[in-house]
Amino acid sequence: MKTIPFFDYPKLWLEEREIFLSIIDETSSNGSFIMQSELEVFEEDLANYTNSQYSIGVGNATDAMEIYLQAIGLQKGDEIIISSHTMLATASAVIQAGGIPIPVDIGPDNLIDPNCIEEAINTRTVGVLPTQLNGRTCNMDRIEEIISKNNLFLVEDSAQALGSKFKNRFAGTFGMGSCISFFPAKVLGCFGDAGAILTQDENIYEKSFQIRDHGRDKNGEVQCWGRNSRLDNVQAAILSYKLQTYENVIKRRRSIASMYDEQLSELDELILPPAPNSNLDHFDVYQNYELAAKDRDDLKKYLADNGIGTLIQWGGQGIHHFKNLGFNQNLPLTDKFFNECIMLPMNMFIEESDVEYICEMIKNFYRK
Ligand SMILES: *Cc1c(COP(=O)(O)O)cnc(C)c1O
């Protein structure tokens, strides 16, 4: 039987092991471990790639959000509207920065619903933090309109969306701050935890730069309370190397998405994500290929029995499902989606024949 893991972690390393070893050897032999030129180079590469004014390497994307929210000057009790269809990290970052995350429902695109943002705004609301999920950027026209009409700030969770665009603007460059994650299974993954802040605002850049390194500015002078959340230099060197060919990664992921779309769109039991080029306002990078499926749990089991790994994002829980954390919202579209969602293998290691096998098995399941 063929086996197709959902994500092949050893392969991430083994595919270019010799090159990675030489990068690690070179930076380590120079003693370049913390905040050396490799980090500065990567920060510049990332800013250039995303057409962003500034980028700051940090420990992970969750830290990135905490740090930019602190840099913005979030006050205790300030409310920030988020999608419930996101990782717990989006909400926890708001909490750690002193604010209150308010999860709202999703629209038909499974991303935060602008109408629900409007309904949730009250006198305590200070900002909106949409998640650019699965490698797709939200309809930012509507969100920007709401922001400016209500005098709120916009920040982004673009942990999953490096290279994704809406109307030719990169995810992560719409708001005052955003995060990118380099967790191994993310579109640009390294060999451990790492993340970055993108910002277009000089003050937020300066402040975030200081906070990630004990409040120290470029001259080593302490300017504010900070913490330690520095992106490892060795990881930065690896990320710079991988960013050089990142366009190929996006191309390949988009082509896998097209194959899935061609072979699965005939099934009425599935609601697929938008195909590449189906709406030219959106340029998706397919961090995930997440769909809604009838009899989802049985389908998942059937695919597992046939050697195919799938994943239900965040164990099938949105933010408002975490009752132990005090959430009690009623968000019907998010509930519905979490009952049906499943992610198919989407990464650089699967072959065309794998996609064909996966689609064949899905068709077999519904023909039963
Ligand atoms: C992965 C992810 C994060 C967290 O990223 P880390 O680098 O692991 O902290 C935040 N939000 C979303 C939507 C994610 O997918």
**Six-digit token string for 218:** 């470029």
**Do 350 and 256 touch, CB atoms closer than 8 A?**
yes
Q: How far is the CA of 180 from the centre of ligand 1 (A)?
A: 8
Q: How far is the CA of 65 from the centre of ligand 1 (A)?
A: 10
Dihedral class, residue 256 (left if φ above 0, else alpha if ψ from -120 to 50, else beta): alpha
Q: How far is the CA of 181 from the centre of ligand 1 (A)?
A: 6
pTM of this prediction?
A: 0.97
Ligand 1 contacts CB of residue 91 (under 6 A): no
Q: Which atom of ligand 1 lies closest to the CA of 133?
A: 13
Q: Where are the beta strands (DSSP E) in the chain?
A: 54-58, 79-83, 100-104, 125-129, 153-157, 165-166, 169-170, 177-181, 195-199, 270-271, 282-283, 289-293, 341-344
Q: Is the pLDDT of residue 343 over 80?
A: yes
Q: Which atom of ligand 1 lies closest to the CA of 157?
A: 11
Q: Which of 90, 112, 164, 181 to mutate to test the pocket of ligand 1 (most atoms within 8 A of CB)?
A: 181
Ligand 1 contacts CB of residue 50 (under 6 A): no
Give dist(CA 204, CA 194) in Å, integer: 20
> Taking residues 352-368, what's their average pLDDT?
96
Q: Is the pLDDT of residue 1 over 90?
A: no
Which residues sit opposite 81 in a β-bridge?
Answer: 102, 128
| pLDDT reported for residue 210 | 98
**Amino acid of residue 237:** A
Give dist(CA 363, CA 368) in Å, integer: 9
Q: Is the pLDDT of residue 61 over 90?
A: yes
Ligand 1 contacts CB of residue 160 (under 6 A): yes
> Taking residues 31-35, what's their average pLDDT?
96
User: How far out from the chain centre does Cα 92 lie?
Assistant: 15
Q: Is the pLDDT of residue 368 over 80?
A: no
From 202, 166, 152, select the one nearest 47 (Cα to Cα).
202
Question: Using one digit for the tens of pLDDT, what is the confidence trace for 92-150?
Answer: 999 999 999 999 999 999 999 999 999 999 999 999 999 999 999 999 999 999 999 99
Report residue 249's pLDDT band, with 50, 70 and 90 as the boundaries.
very high
Q: Which of 157, 288, 311 to mutate to test the pocket of ligand 1 (most atoms within 8 A of CB)?
A: 157
Ligand 1 contacts CB of residue 178 (under 6 A): no
Give dist(CA 166, CA 145) in Å, integer: 15
**Six-digit token string for 214:** 């004990």
- Name residue, tokens 């009838």: 294
Ligand 1 contacts CB of residue 134 (under 6 A): no
**How much is the mean pLDDT over the chain?**
97
